[in-house]
Amino acid sequence: MSFRAGFVTIWGRPNVGKSTFLNRVIGQKVSIVSDKPQTTRRVVKGIVNLDNAQIVFLDTPGLHTPKDRLGEIMMQEIEDTLLDVDLLCYMTDPAFQEEEERKYLEKLDGFSRPVFLVLNKKDLLEEEETESILERLGKYHAFAERLAISCTTGEGIRELLERIVAYLPENPPYYEPGIVSDAFERDIVAEIVREKVWWHVHQEVPYGVEVRVEEFKERDDLLYIRAIIYVERESHKKIVIGEGGRMIKKIGEDARRDIETQWGKKVYLDLWVKVEKNWRKRDEVLRRFGYRVK
């Protein structure tokens, strides 16, 4: 049997389940999730190894209208994932607004590779509703396939993977078996910490949070990690630390639990909070934080 391998971009609005889907199909967390839009900021690669194929998924930030320099960089990252990929999965959910979806689908007019329309949260819909949504959105692009899935129950995901493989070119695998992402360990840890900030801190504070891991050292059976949580204002720093340090303790406990599960060893997580004023608008800081500033 011939082996197939290729790159597949996942596009869609914020909160349609792109990162949840990626984490589910690779079997561990490489992309963070929350119920707030723009949680994902960078393109994250997740590698699915099957008996006859390797699918390299590119999880992208949610499609949006940029409001600052960071937003502009994120949208450029999203559009760059149309280059040199073999297939695109356009993911949506029952909360879609037809005019908004049409606007984003128009960006694919020049994309020559197959595009799948993937409706997530199938478990919330009756069969007739599912078919109606796929039909309504199907008129805005010549989709190669239209499928419905549920990232919560797993329904339809096996079929989606099988259909993707059928469209991939015959190629040897791009990555060695066992590799599930090309993200650095420090980056995965930073994202786990940032996810916990998004979970516990409300209002506008999480949008101005960035996390950088300064130390990542393995000491026998202990993993020592020192990370800095950057915020944009002194008032935000007080919120992240919390009264008597309760908030930063809660963030650290939840992050440490996830890191220990993923690495399989005890973790000492040393968290600090610093202010970097208006970093989302400053190219030099964005570049220092690892964003691709052009």
Query: Within a domain: residue 148?
Result: yes
| Predicted local distance difference test score (pLDDT) of residue 39 | 61
Residues 199 and 127 in one domain: no
Beta carbons of 263 and 223 less than 8 angstroms apart:
yes
Torsion region of 114: left, alpha or beta (phi above 0 gives left; psi -120 to 50 gives alpha): beta
Query: Within a domain: residue 175?
Result: no
Q: CATH number of the domain at 276, please.
A: 3.30.300.20
Range of the domain at 263: 185-288
Residues 23 and 138 in one domain: yes
Residues 140 and 280 in one domain: no
Total domains in the fold of the chain: 2
| Predicted local distance difference test score (pLDDT) of residue 254 | 95
Torsion region of 220: left, alpha or beta (phi above 0 gives left; psi -120 to 50 gives alpha): left
* Spatial separation of the C-alpha atoms in residues 286 and 49, rounded to whole Å: 33
Residues 193 and 277 in one domain: yes
Residues 111 and 227 in one domain: no
Residue 210 carries which side chain, given as an amino acid letter? E
DSSP 169: P
Residues 127 and 216 in one domain: no
Residue 192 carries which side chain, given as an amino acid letter? I
Mean pLDDT of 227-246: 95
Q: Which of 122-131, 134-143, 205-214, 226-235 has the lowest mean pLDDT?
A: 205-214
Question: What is the sign of the dihedral through the CA atoms of 140, 145, 151 and 153?
Answer: positive
Judged against a pLDDT cut of 80, whether residue 48 lies above it is answered with: yes
Residues 105 and 226 in one domain: no
Phi and psi angles of residue 143, each rounded to the nearest 5 degrees, phi first: -70, 140
Q: Identify the domain boundary among 140, 167, 194.
A: 167
Q: CATH number of the domain at 108, please.
A: 3.40.50.300
Whether the predicted model's global pTM rises above the 0.95 cut: no
Q: pLDDT band at residue 181, thresholds of 50, 70 and 90?
A: confident
Judged against a pLDDT cut of 50, whether residue 34 lies above it is answered with: no
Mean pLDDT of 107-129: 93
Average pLDDT, the chain: 89
Q: How many CA atoms lie within 13 A of 134 on its CB side?
A: 21
Mean pLDDT of 265-273: 95
Residues 138 and 253 in one domain: no
Judged against a pLDDT cut of 80, whether residue 51 lies above it is answered with: yes
88's enclosing H/E stretch is: strand 87-92
Query: Within a domain: residue 176?
Result: no
Mean pLDDT of 79-99: 90
Residues 120 and 251 in one domain: no
Neighbours of 144 (CB within 10 A): 15
Residues 130 and 242 in one domain: no
CA dihedral 112, 24, 74, 143 (to 10 degrees): 20
Residues 81 and 155 in one domain: yes
Q: Can you read off the two tokens belonging to residue 130?
A: 């599912």
